[in-house]
Structures are given as C-alpha cells and as structure tokens.
C-alpha cells in the first residue's frame, strides 16, 4: 500500500521538527504529532478532535486515515493520521499563531507538490488532449481554495485557469508556432468614434464620482491618445481590416488602453469598460466568461506584462472571448 511521501517540518525557531506525511495531495499527522506541533497536552488535542467530529465541523471518515507508523519501540503499528483540515481546526483552538505558521508552510508544500510533481509535457497533452489538463488544474484550484492559500485576486486567477484549460493548450501551440486565431463571427465589428467613446466615459466618470470612487483626474485625456487607439483598432489596408473580427478588435482595444495610458487616471478601468461596451454593442455577450474578478485579474495581468508579451496576451484574450 502506498504510504505517501514524508517530508520534514521544522518550527520557525528550530526548537522542534516533525515528519509530515504527504498522501493523496494532502498533509497528514498523527495525534501525537499534532500535540507536539502545538505544544499542547495530548488529552487536550484529543478533546478538540472529538469536538470537531461531534459538532459536525468535519466528517471523520473524510479527514482520518490509518497509515503505518513506527513507534519508539521499533515496532510498526497502523495509526490514525489526521489531515490538514483537522490540524488547522485544532490549531485555531490551542495556538492560533503556530497553527497559522504551519498552515502557510503546509499549503506552500502542497502547491509545490502539485505543480512540480506533475509534468504537463507535450507528449502527455498530445496523447490525452486537454481533459487530463483540466483535471489537474481543477485539482490544483480546489486544493488551494480549500486550504486558504489564495486571496480574492488569486481566486480570480484560479477562476481563469480552471475555466479556460483549453486555452492553455492553445497557448502551448502558440509557443510552438502552431496556434491559429480562432474562427471569427461574420461581422468585423463597429469601432466607436472618439465622440461616442468620450460620451460613454463621461457617463462612467459621473457614476464613479457619485460613488466617491474617482477624482476629477479620472478620464482626462492626454493629448489625442484615445482617438489614436480607436483609429488603430479600426484601421484597414487595401479594403481589409488590420484586426479582422470583433474578438481581435476587442482584445487590441483592451490592451492599447491599458498599456498606452491615454488618460491621466483610470486607464485600467476605462480599458475594461470600453472592452465590454464594444463587445456588447457588437452583440457579442461574454459576461458569463468574464466575471468581475476574472476581468480584474486579466486587466492587472495586461498592466504588469512586458511589451514583448503583447501578441501572447492578445491571442489569449481573443480565445477567451470566442470560447474556442
């Protein structure tokens, strides 16, 4: 029977260390180890574990398992081990500070174990397609969520990762010069003129000012940057659009507004606003694919990106819009 992998956890001050078992993408400790970890009497730990099960906070069969454990007498026994959920529950009751430190360490180990212990190579993808990739990403996402490793921003990134598993395979193809742009809708999309865009931005600004979420600097143009971006997105050559299709235009509109800073303040918010407005006016509804947090995460990703990553990001956005 596979007993899992054993790694060592050492306290911050180096005063003690324990062997931690990793099995089924989970951290496991014996009752004695939990007692040592938190510096609590074993009877106290027993009481807290029993209360956790008695109150229904955790289901015993889901968080308790028997593994072989070598005792001080050199003999091996089948001993109850408790997973990270139990460890955290006890830790918050007896010593919140040490419980928090162990939780941070354990979740970082879980993340490394999941990410580094599973190689997503081209051969595996070619053999099994994106279904296995989706399973891995879902496992990673749910594990990090369950154990509180991610904040709201991280949760938004996980949402994109889990939802668009097929897209990461498409980006792999892109890295190997095999990714084609997705099939576009029949219409090329109507790019708003500067006057229409300014009117919409003015409405957005008025609403944000009313809520106290903007200042007078919000939406103030720097030269003719907005007009130049709209012109670039809608430009054509020899009767053909430079950026054919609604999705490709929308992706460039979002990218240019965020990266070119045509406004004194509010470039990210205005970029996201014009992006959604453009898609809606061209009858391309993708709200279900772009929750508020997901759009925030995508916007911040663009803002923090290197200019050399533009093509990758544009293709990513285009695939997210098209759903292909």
* Counts of helices then strands in the chain (DSSP H, E): 14, 7
Choose the CATH number for 194-322 among 3.40.1180.10, 3.40.50.300, 3.30.390.30, 1.20.120.1870: 1.20.120.1870
- Rounded to a whole number of angstroms, the CA Rg of the chain reads 26
| Residue 48: per-residue pLDDT | 92
| Residue 201: per-residue pLDDT | 93
Average pLDDT over residues 150-159: 58
User: For all residues of the chain together, what is the average pLDDT?
Assistant: 75
Q: What residues does each domain of the chain span? A: 5-101, 118-175, 194-322
Quick: pLDDT tens for 60-103: 888 898 887 777 777 888 889 998 888 888 887 877 677 677 77
Q: What are phi and psi of 117, to 5 degrees?
A: -85, 0
| Residue 305: per-residue pLDDT | 81
3-state secondary structure of 19: strand
Higher pLDDT, 256 or 91: 256
Higher pLDDT, 174 or 250: 250
Would you say residue 14 has pLDDT above 80? no
- State the DSSP string of 250-316: HHHHHHHHHHH--BSB-HHHHHHHHHHHHHHHTT---TTT--HHHHHHHHHHHHHS-GGGHHHHHHH
Residue 186 binned pLDDT confidence (cut-offs 50, 70, 90)? very low
Residue 307 binned pLDDT confidence (cut-offs 50, 70, 90)? confident
Beta strand 17-22 with 64-70 is unpaired
Quick: pLDDT tens for 101-130: 777 777 777 666 555 543 344 444 445 454
pTM given for the model: 0.50
**Do residues 81 and 66 touch, judged by C-beta distance below 8 A?**
yes
State percent of the chain over pLDDT 90: 22
3-state secondary structure of 1: coil
| Residue 131: per-residue pLDDT | 53
Maximum distance among all Cα pairs of the chain, rounded to whole angstroms:
86
């Amino acid at each position: 029977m596979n007993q899992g992998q054993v790694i060592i956890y050492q306290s911050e001050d180096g005063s003690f260390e324990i062997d931690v078992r990793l099995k089924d993408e989970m951290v496991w400790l014996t009752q004695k180890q939990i007692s040592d970890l938190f510096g609590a009497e074993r009877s106290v730990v027993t009481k807290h574990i029993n209360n956790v099960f008695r109150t229904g906070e955790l289901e015993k069969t889901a968080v308790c398992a028997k593994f072989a454990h070598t005792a001080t007498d050199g003999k091996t026994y089948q001993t109850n081990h408790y997973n990270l959920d139990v460890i955290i529950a006890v830790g918050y009751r007896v010593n919140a500070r040490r419980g928090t430190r162990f939780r941070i360490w354990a979740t970082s180990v879980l993340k490394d174990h999941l990410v580094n212990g599973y190689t997503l190579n081209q051969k595996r993808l070619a053999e099994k397609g994106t279904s296995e990739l989706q399973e891995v990403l879902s496992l990673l996402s749910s594990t990090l969520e369950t154990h509180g490793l991610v904040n709201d921003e991280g949760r938004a990134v996980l949402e994109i990762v889990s939802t668009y598993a097929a897209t990461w395979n498409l980006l792999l193809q892109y890295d190997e010069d095999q990714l084609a742009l997705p099939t576009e809708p029949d219409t090329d999309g109507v790019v708003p003129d500067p006057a229409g865009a300014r009117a919409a931005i003015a409405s957005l600004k008025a609403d944000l000012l009313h809520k106290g979420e903007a200042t007078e600097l919000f939406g103030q143009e720097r030269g003719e940057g907005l007009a130049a971006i709209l012109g670039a997105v809608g430009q054509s050559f020899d009767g053909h659009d430079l950026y054919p299709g609604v999705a490709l235009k929308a992706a460039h509109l979002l990218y240019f507004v965020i990266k070119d800073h045509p406004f004194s303040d509010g470039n990210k918010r205005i970029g996201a606003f014009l992006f959604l407005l453009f898609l809606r006016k061209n009858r391309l509804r993708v709200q279900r694919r772009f929750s508020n947090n997901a759009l925030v995460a995508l916007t911040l990703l663009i803002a923090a990106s290197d200019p050399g990553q533009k093509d990758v990001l544009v293709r990513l956005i285009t695939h997210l819009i098209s759903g292909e």
